[in-house]
Every structure is written in C-alpha cells, then in structure tokens.
Amino acid sequence: MKKLFAFILAILMVFTSAQAFAAGNGKQIQISAEDEKFLLQHWENEGVDKATQKKLLDKIKKGETLDSDKPENIEKVSKALAIKGAGRKKVTFRDGSFVIQSVSGGTVSCGTGYCNYTDATVERTAW
C-alpha cells in the first residue's frame, strides 16, 4: 500500500511540474517596492505609457526576458543605434522595452560609412 501511495505521489509530482514548465519557465521574480518604483519612474520619464509599463513589469515578474535583452534583437538594431558624433539614440521593441545608446566626449571624424571616435564614452542600456 505504501509503495502504491509513493508511486501515485511521484506521478502527480511529475505531472504538475510538467504543467508548470509548459505554462512558462515557472520562475516568479520578486521585485522590491523600491525597484518597482524605480522602473516605473524611469519608464515614465522615457515616455512609456501606463499600459506598457504594466505589461513590462508583469513580464519581468513572470521571469520572461524583455525584447531589449534578447541578443538576436540587439543584433537586428545595431545599425539603427549607430551615432555619428555625440548624441543619443533610442530603439523601442515590440513589447515596449527599449535600448538607449549615447556617445559623449572625445572627438569624432567620419568618412563614407564609418566614424572614428577618440576618447569618447559610449553607453548602452536596455530597459
């Protein structure tokens, strides 16, 4: 009787874990109230509407990767992020997340299809 009970319990555990895996990665992320407030404020400052902010926050809490953090998406927009001289560019992805790239300081000399930067600071952030 104990063996039968153990067998049934094992089957139930396998079945429920398979359902959780099929539903997503199963990793719920806990975000502190302070971090949540920071993200929402940053998205607000960047002009992200409330509905998209909620969608992005829910995606993070579910353990899903934002489009701006997926390497295949960054490769697709690398040319769009190219900056000639000092400046700032922003590329927004389908889910509402975005990448900002900025270049400041130093000197730049550009030719046909290229730019050389000397002593410049390049910063790329994904949100």
Query: At which residue do the structure tokens 């130093």 appear?
Result: 106
Q: Do 97 and 66 meet the contact criterion of CB atoms below 8 Å apart?
A: yes
Q: Quick one: pLDDT at residue 74?
A: 77
- The pTM assigned to this predicted structure is 0.63
The residues spanned by each domain of the chain are 31-64, 66-127
What percent of the chain has a predicted confidence (pLDDT) above 90?
A: 22
Q: How far apart are CA 123 and CA 61, in angstroms?
A: 26
Amino acid at site 37: K
Query: 24 near 30, Cβ under 8 Å?
Result: no
pLDDT tens for each residue of 63-116: 999 998 888 887 777 777 776 666 788 888 889 998 888 888 888 788 887 778
Rounded to whole angstroms, what are the CA distances from 54 to 49, 75, 93? 9, 26, 15
Q: Taking each helix axis from N to C terminus, what angle separates 50-61 and 33-45, rounded to the nearest 10 degrees?
A: 140
